Amino acid sequence: QGLTNSVGMALAEKLLASEFNREGHAIVDHHTYVFLGDGCLMEGISHEASALAGAWKLNKLIALYDDNGISIDGKVAPWFVDNTAQRFAAYGWNVIGPIDGHDVDAVDRAIADAKNSAGNGSAGPTLIICKTHIGKGSPNRQDTAKAHGEALGVDEIRLTREALGWPYKPFEIPREGYADWDAKAAGLALETAWDLKFAAYKAAHPELAAEFVRRMKGDLPKNFHQVAVDTVVAANVKAETVASRKASQIALEAFTAALPEMLGGSADLTGSNLTNTKSTPALRFDLAGDVVRTPDANGVMVGGRHINYGVREF
């Protein structure tokens, strides 16, 4: 589910950037990161979501695979023998590694390479395969199923901290050598820089800026209450006897027109479950991975909001 959520988040970034960014004003421009393990890759939903991520060319999605080969029942090799690198390459992902997942510099370089590949026109997401040892440093539990399924316990924690050269304070990480973990100042600098960027955007595009702020706050449009009331009244006046799926489409016609942030789709049954509306053209991407824009009912070029999930029921 976490891998799948990350695909949704990366799609949201791409759609928001396509809708709100303007020349010289990239207010939406971030990467999405996800950590996943062997169990995630064994779940069928990981195939459904990862294949879509490749089809959608979500090049700002970076996944770090914690490849330790251990699950609760033991070593996964007897029941999980997939060639993960080839699997993701087949989805259209960039694949980096295997690398040493305990080497901070190696991981840092891999993330930089993933960002560079996106910046150099690569349209696919990136999977970084990180070989790791579960329970690393634990004298008696490293690379065992017990490290996966059980807490180390007081005695093993003490031994592990001794092996790592850490003092025995179970809930503390030594400050020495870990100053880089404190990102408050760097974060504040980035936030301040973005605030200045957004102020310039607001001055150049006040209506877009106001709409962006509304959506980020989660506020409904000012006229939405009246839209909802009018929709209900109209349905009561007409008093049609229709199938529930058609009643759903009637409601969606009103609400998708009033809520430009509303999107959805169908798992290969659009004509049957009636999820399509006049306000939600099909979501499509060109060969470069950019959102394809088509004219809406008013002739305004808009990106698609109806997702074809294909036969991916989950």
Q: What is the pLDDT of residues 10-43, one digit of tens each?
A: 999 999 999 999 999 999 999 999 999 999 999 9
pLDDT in tens, 122-180: 689 999 999 999 999 999 999 999 999 899 999 999 999 999 888 877 677 776 656 66
**CA pseudo-torsion sign 289, 295, 296, 300:** positive
Q: Is the pLDDT reported for residue 210 higher than 90? A: yes
* Residues with a known catalytic role: 313
User: What dihedral angle (degrees, nearest 10) is formed by the CA atoms of 127, 52, 293, 273?
Assistant: -160
Q: How confident is the model at residue 119 (pLDDT cuts 50, 70, 90)?
A: low
Nearest to 33 by CA among 9, 12, 68: 9
44 CA to centre of own chain: 17
Q: Largest Cα–Cα distance of the chain, in whole Å?
A: 76
Arithmetic mean of pLDDT, 99-106: 96
**Sign, CA torsion 63/69/70/75:** positive
| pLDDT, position 177 | 58
Q: Which residues pair with 307 in a beta bridge?
A: 265
Residue 120, pLDDT score: 61
Beta-carbon count within 10 A of 206 CB: 10
Q: According to the model, what pLDDT value does residue 299 have?
A: 77
Structure confidence at residue 121 as a pLDDT band (50, 70, 90):
low
pLDDT per residue as tens digits for the range 256-309: 999 999 999 999 999 999 999 999 999 999 988 999 998 876 777 889 999 999
Which residue is associated with the tokens 């040892």? Answer: 133
Positive/negative CA dihedral, 244, 245, 248, 249: negative
